[in-house]
Structure 1
Amino acid sequence: MYAILLPLHSLVRWLVLITLVFAIIRAYRGWISCKSFSKFDDALCKIVVNVLNIQMTIGIVLYCISPIVSYFLHNFKEAVHQRQVRFFGMEHITMMIIAVIVITIGFNKVKYKTSDEEKYKTMAIWFAIGLFIILSSIPWAFSPLTSRPNFRPF
């Protein structure tokens, strides 16, 4: 199962990033241009949150079955000093859960805003903060600290 979920998690990351960036661009355009908040924008918010929750679910299952995390949990005193092990055992999951919470709070705040400008503004700000957290916590292939391939084969 690990061999299937790890590439799936890597693939869904791109779907999360694409939908989130698209939603942020639409939000900033709508906010700056004073457009009306459409049904498409509402649906886009829901899609972003759903894709993000799917990714989080895959990630939590991976966390539970990962050999790296297992090593981290069973050898905490030594593992906490190993950058890559600590990243996957503690840092990555913590930051990603925070990002999901931030984006979900933003989504819920958008639902209760009355004006279109407030909806776009709220969406733009909260989703952008969440994206920043996500981008800072992905193990990019170019990262000198903890790198993983950008695309994993199945």
Structure 2
Amino acid sequence: MDSGFLPFFHSLLRYAVLLTLLYAFAVNLRGVLQQRPILTGERAVTILAMVLCHVQLGVGGILYAMDYQMIDKMADPYRRFWKFEHIGMMVLAIALITVGRMLSKRATDERTKQMRIVVFYGIGLLLILVAVPWPFRDEFRSLGWL
């Protein structure tokens, strides 16, 4: 599971997910602070961010299913992270992002739409940043940036 196209794609896709989420969050935060309506292109970025999150979750789900060995996963912190903490936080983050997008669609005024995106995408982005196996964390130093 550690080598091949799918893990590489999953790792590479994280940067597209993080960049689009950060941009969608920033654009909507700016809209809330400046009290201006969101533009069509900016709205498309929020949709793109959600779609990329779902693609990333699908690829991660395939990788999760490929590693079916569940023996002694809780004893080793490295394995526990991959099998439980990483996937759990990612599913929660993407669920929050999806709920935020759906709630913003149902809002009637622009400020409420943007505020819902800011709150839900912000919490989702924070969870994703915590759950990513960054190379500067001791457990994941050997993984590298990709």
Q: Which band: TM-score by shorter chain?
A: over 0.9
Q: Normalising to structure 2: TM-score of the pair?
A: 0.93
SS at match of 2:26: helix
Which of 111, 115, 120 aligns to 1:117? It is 111
Q: Which residue of 1 aligns with 2:19?
A: 18
> Within the alignment, does 1:44 sit opposite 2:45 as a pair?
yes
Question: Given that residues 99 and 134 in structure 1 are in contact (C-alpha distance below 8 angstroms), is that contact kept between their aligned partners in structure 2?
Answer: yes
Query: What is the CA-CA distance between 1:146 and the residue it aligns to?
Result: 3.8
Question: What percentage of aligned pairs have identical amino acids?
Answer: 28
- CA–CA separation in structure 1 for the residues paired with 2:81 and 2:140: 7
One-letter code aligned to 1:132: L
Q: Which residue of 2 aligns with 1:149?
A: 144
CA RMSD of aligned residues (A): 1.4
* 1:130-150 Cα distance to aligned partner (Å, 9 max, x none): 000000000000012444321
Moved more, 46-55 or 138-147: 138-147
Tell which has more relative contact order, 1 or 2 (C-alpha 8 A, sep 6+): 1
One-letter code aligned to 1:57: G
One-letter code aligned to 2:145: N
Q: Which residue of 1 aligns with 2:91?
A: 97
- Structure 1 unaligned spans of 5+: none
- CA–CA separation in structure 2 for the residues paired with 1:24 and 1:51: 15
Query: What is the CA-CA distance between 1:112 and the residue it aligns to?
Result: 0.7
* 1:80-127 Cα distance to aligned partner (Å, 9 max, x none): 110111111111111100000000000001101111111111111110
Q: Which residue of 1 aligns with 2:60?
A: 59
Moved more, 33-42 or 49-58: 33-42
Query: What is the CA-CA distance between 1:38 and the residue it aligns to?
Result: 2.0
Question: Given that residues 83 and 146 in structure 1 are in contact (C-alpha distance below 8 angstroms), is that contact kept between their aligned partners in structure 2?
Answer: no
Question: Given that residues 110 and 122 in structure 1 are in contact (C-alpha distance below 8 angstroms), is that contact kept between their aligned partners in structure 2?
Answer: yes
